[in-house]
Amino acid sequence: MDFGSLTGLVSVKPFLGAQGLSSWFPEAASEHAGGVDGAFLGILAAAAFAVVLVVGLAMTFIRRFSRSDDTETGVDTGRLSYPLMGVFVLGAVALAGFSFYVGMDGFLDRTVAPYGAYEIDVTARQWDWDFTYPNGYVADTLHVAVGQPVKLVLKTEDVTHGLSVPAMRLSKTVLPGLDAETWFEATVADTFTLRSNRYSGEGYSTMQTALIAHGDGDFQAWLTAVSDIFAGRTLEEVGELLYSTKGCKACHSLDGSKLVGPSFKDVYGNTFDTREGVQVTVDDAYVKESILAPNVSVIAGYEPVMTPYEGNITDREIEAITAWLKTLSVHTPADAAGQEEN
C-alpha cells in the first residue's frame, strides 16, 4: 500500500498547503520517504483532532457550568453514559490502531533488503564513518546510485552509534557486537547530510559526513575513478599500498624478521636455495611466479602454504610490487637479470 496517498485521504494537504508541508520535512529523496511522510501527516491530523476535541469539551463544560456560589453542587447525572463511553474509547482505539497500521508497512519494508541490492559495509567509530564498497574501496562519504536499492551492513568498532540521513527518512542504530542492516533507494541526485543521531561521547556533534546520490551511471564512473590506485601515485607507492591491501603483510615482514614467509627486506636480487635444492636469484620473473604460483619454487626453510594470486592481481600491480621490492633491497637492480624499470 502506498501511504503517500494517505496525505490526500485525510485531507491534510488542502489545510496546510504546500508551504506548510514543506516546513514539516526535509527534502524527500528516497522511495521510502513518501510513506513515512504520509503516515506522519495522517497521525498528525488524527492526533490534533483528538486533543482539540478533549480540550474543547473540557473548556466548554467549565465555561457553561461555572459555579455561581459556594453552596452550589454539581448535578450528579447518575451512571456514566455507556454508549458515549464506548464511542469515546473506540475512537481512541481507532486512533491508536490507525497509527499502528500506517507505520507497519514502512517498517516491515525496511527489515529485508530487495534481492540484488547493492551492498555497502559501514563502519562507525568515535567519531567518523568508513564506507566499504564491494571492490574493497573505502571512502569517508557514502556514494550511491539513484534508482538502485542499497543495502547497508553496519558495524561499530567502539560504542553505540546511530546513522541518519533525514532526506532518505533513514535512521539505524548499531550496537557493539551486533551488526545491523538497513536499506534505501535514493530517488534524487544530490548531496545530503549523513550524520550520527545517537549520542556517542564528546565528539558526537561533529560525527557528520555526506551522502552523495549519483544519477545516470555517474556512480560507476566515480567508483572506477577513485578505485584506480595508480592515479596520482608512483609505481613504488602503489606497490607499498598493495602490500597492505592484498594481505602480503600478514606473512612477510619488512625488517628482516622471519614470519610464515621470508621477509621482503633485501630479498630482491638476492640468491637462495630452494626446498628442491636449486639455486634461484630473485628477479622479476621469480617475483611474478612467486605471486601467481607461489608454491612451485619455495625458498628452503619455509612451507609451501601461500595462496596463489592467479586471477586476483593484474600484471601492472605485479610490476608495482616488483618496483617497490627493489627499493627495499641493498642488492642493486643491475645484479639481477631483470629489465630496468622506467
Closest CA to 7 of 189, 111, 192, 24: 24
Report how far residue 96's alpha carbon sits from residue 99's, in angstroms, rounded to the nearest whole number: 5
User: What residues contact residue 263 under an 8 Å CB cut-off, 6+ apart?
Assistant: 252, 253, 254, 255, 256, 257
Contact 280, 297 (CB under 8 A): yes
Q: Does 191 bind another protein (CB under 8 A)?
A: no
Contact set for another protein, span 19-58 (CB under 8 A): 23-26, 35-36, 39-40, 43-44, 46-48, 50-51, 54-55, 57-58
Give min distance, CB of 11 to another protein, in A.
Answer: 19
Contact set for another protein, span 94-133 (CB under 8 A): 95-97, 99-100, 102-111
Among 15, 17, 61, 221, binds another protein (CB under 8 A): 61
Q: Does 83 bind another protein (CB under 8 A)?
A: no
Among 205, 220, 227, 312, binds another protein (CB under 8 A): 205
Binding pattern for the stretch 150-179 against another protein, x by CB under 8 A and - elsewhere: ---------xx-x-x-xx-xxxxxxxxxx-
# chain residues binding another protein, by CB under 8 A: 87
Closest CA to 146 of 211, 226, 228: 211
Toward another protein, which CB reaches closer, 151 or 288?
151
Say if strands 150-156 and 118-125 run parallel, antiparallel, or are unpaired: parallel
Q: Does 15 bind another protein (CB under 8 A)?
A: no
Contact 150, 120 (CB under 8 A): yes
Q: Does 201 bind another protein (CB under 8 A)?
A: yes
H or E, element range at 92: helix 82-111
Q: Does 12 bind another protein (CB under 8 A)?
A: no
Q: Does 143 bind another protein (CB under 8 A)?
A: no
Q: Does 213 bind another protein (CB under 8 A)?
A: no
Chain-centre distance of CA 141, in angstroms? 9
Report how far residue 57's alpha carbon sits from residue 135's, in angstroms, rounded to the nearest whole number: 64
Contact set for another protein, span 255-314 (CB under 8 A): none
